[in-house]
Amino acid sequence: MTTHKTAEVLDTTGQNCPMPVVKTKQTIDQLEEGAILEVLATDPGSMSDLAGWAAATSDVELIEQDERSEIFTHYVRKTDS
């Protein structure tokens, strides 16, 4: 797993769609531009849900996803609005 310097870790384990995306948006909105949020999820759908959300959102960038364990890890960077 790649190590990113994260500003915060968001634990959405045990929560299903759409909560990982909803909580990610709420948390990323509170971070400064350039900050990286690490999102932990157990919902397999979070892989496509977070990728789709990031692609459709102008002020975030999905920089990595890791699905090598039971916990899916996503790294999202806040970009300029």
Q: Which residues are catalytic?
A: 17
CA–CA separation, 47 and 59 (whole Å): 19
Please give the helix or strand (H or E) that residue 37 lies within, else none.
strand 36-41
Closest CA to 63 of 11, 14, 2, 9: 2
